């Protein structure tokens, strides 16, 4: 969380030269003002979950998103709040979900802005109204989730397939008279059939992966381990921190090998130390060495291919992410990084996540909560949320909500 941090130091924490965990302490920030045309769950990546299938191979693509964050100075109701901007390699968003009926979830993106955690300072949002009205109520059907969204290049076979509606009819473009298309994942045994059907096939797809906290935490742990590998020589676990330096003047402040500090003390000192030379107070900067080469360059989660899948818990039946390993640090194949004709972006480019994950307006929130054609009454501020589907007419419509890794 950004709250309570020194605003002068927010932009000095490296976007991914530091760690994912360091970034997560500063996020949960603002959103653009307009709503994207397509639902944000369209084009989402979901790790494979089919039993017996091979794991997915993916590469996360770093972006540079300007994210406004709320920072509080002081404590209590009289604390001053400041909005600062942070450049981040992934995009944070807040999602509200409601159970408007048995197995009938509804979800949308928060419109409260960077002050969503400040009850009396935020922008209007029905989800935040419900959150504050039901805070501490474990039986509430409302859920507020932090999302960390990454552009994701998935190495798998995809077929360009005509879109169909719920009734199985082709979705047609009224202006051109041509059907709409989408890239649909296919398995190896389906490739020949799709080729015989004349469909275009490619071995990749660029998508967005909206991680909830438990998945983001696992990815963060991986990012820390990958940071011990060298991008320059490809050495695995060849990088060590020889000294921790002041972020202001570069003075040596902490020798991790001197044997006088416990791991917990080192971790605490790294996060915040006051320099006796320049009096700068903040996060320490690592001075690294590589045991395999003379030019250490710490790799990050964006420099390796990840191998992963989802498996079903036999007790809860929930799908859990399983990270199975990562490749040696290496650049992507040039075919993914070379710009296309007419200045088109390379295949592996950061998606416009702020547009895709733009917030829902209050009017759109009311429509989503009403269940569309179901005839339900929209959920409004102050309504009891114990079982909002009781004492209403009509049948809630729609299927299950977004399913994140």
* DSSP letters for 247-282: TTT--EEE-TTSSSS-HHHHHHHHH-EE-TTT--EE
Residue 72: its pLDDT value, please? Answer: 83
DSSP code of residue 86: E
Q: Is the dihedral of CA 75, 79, 82, 83 positive or negative?
A: positive
- Angle (CA) 360 363 365, round 5°: 50
* Residues whose CB is less than 8 angstroms from the CB of residue 369 and which lie 6 or more positions away in sequence, other chains included: 98, 100, 106, 126, 376, 378, 379
Residue 382's SS3 state is coil
Residue 26: its pLDDT value, please? Answer: 52
Please report where in the chains the tokens 């994207």 appear, as a residue: 36
Residue 198: its pLDDT value, please? Answer: 93
* Residues whose CB is less than 8 angstroms from the CB of residue 282 and which lie 6 or more positions away in sequence, other chains included: 6, 9, 12, 247, 248, 272, 273
DSSP3 helix / strand / coil % (the chain, rounded to 5): 20, 30, 50
Residue 103: its pLDDT value, please? Answer: 76
Convert 11-24 to b/e letters by CB count within 10 Å (16 or more is b): eebebbebbbebbb
Contact 79, 73 (CB under 8 A): yes
- What is the residue-level pLDDT of the chain in tens, covering all 405 positions? 333 334 343 333 344 445 565 555 556 444 444 443 467 888 899 999 988 889 999 999 999 999 999 988 877 677 788 999 999 999 999 999 988 777 788 899 999 999 999 888 999 999 999 999 988 888 888 999 999 999 999 999 999 999 887 778 888 988 898 888 999 999 999 999 999 999 999 999 999 999 999 999 999 999 999 999 999 999 999 999 999 999 999 999 999 988 888 989 998 999 999 999 999 999 999 999 999 998 999 999 999 999 999 999 888 888 999 999 999 999 999 999 999 998 899 999 999 999 999 999 999 999 888 865 332 333 333 333 333 323 333 322 222 233 233
């Amino acid at each position: 969380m950004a709250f309570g941090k020194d605003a002068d130091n927010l932009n000095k924490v490296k976007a991914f030269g530091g760690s994912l965990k360091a970034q997560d302490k500063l996020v949960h920030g603002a959103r653009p003002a307009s709503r994207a045309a397509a639902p944000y769950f369209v084009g989402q990546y979901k790790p494979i979950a089919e039993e017996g299938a091979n794991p997915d191979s993916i590469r996360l693509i770093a972006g540079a998103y300007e994210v406004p964050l709320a920072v509080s100075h002081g404590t209590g109701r009289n604390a001053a709040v400041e909005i600062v901007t942070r450049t981040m390699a992934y995009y944070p968003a807040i999602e509200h979900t409601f159970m408007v009926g048995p197995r009938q979830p509804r979800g949308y993106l928060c419109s409260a802005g960077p002050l969503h955690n400040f009850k009396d300072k935020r922008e209007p949002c029905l989800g935040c109204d419900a959150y504050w009205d039901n805070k501490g109520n474990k039986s509430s059907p409302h859920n507020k989730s932090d999302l960390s969204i990454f552009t994701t290049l998935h190495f798998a076979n995809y077929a360009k397939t005509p879109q169909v509606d719920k009734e199985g009819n082709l979705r047609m473009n009224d202006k051109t008279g041509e059907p709409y298309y989408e890239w649909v994942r296919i398995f190896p045994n389906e490739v020949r059939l799709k080729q015989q059907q004349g469909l275009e096939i490619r071995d990749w797809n660029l998508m967005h992966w909206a991680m909830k906290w438990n998945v983001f935490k696992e990815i963060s742990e991986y990012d820390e381990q990958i940071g011990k590998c060298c991008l320059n020589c490809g050495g695995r676990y060849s990088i060590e921190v020889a000294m921790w330096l002041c972020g202001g003047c570069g003075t040596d402040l902490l020798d991790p090998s001197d044997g006088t500090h416990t791991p917990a003390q080192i971790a605490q000192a790294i996060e915040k130390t006051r320099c006796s030379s320049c009096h700068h107070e903040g996060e320490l900067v690592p001075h690294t060495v590589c045991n395999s080469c003379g030019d250490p360059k710490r790799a990050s989660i964006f420099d390796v291919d990840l191998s992963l899948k989802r498996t079903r818990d036999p007790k809860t039946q929930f799908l859990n992410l399983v990270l199975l390993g990562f490749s040696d640090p290496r650049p992507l194949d040039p075919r993914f990084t070379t710009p296309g004709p007419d200045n088109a972006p390379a295949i592996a480019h950061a998606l416009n996540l702020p547009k895709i994950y733009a917030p829902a307006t209050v009017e759109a929130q009311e429509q989503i909560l009403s269940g569309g054609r179901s005839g339900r009454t929209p959920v409004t501020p102050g309504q009891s949320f114990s079982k909002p589907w009781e004492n209403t007419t009509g049948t809630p419509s729609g299927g299950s909500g977004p399913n994140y890794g």
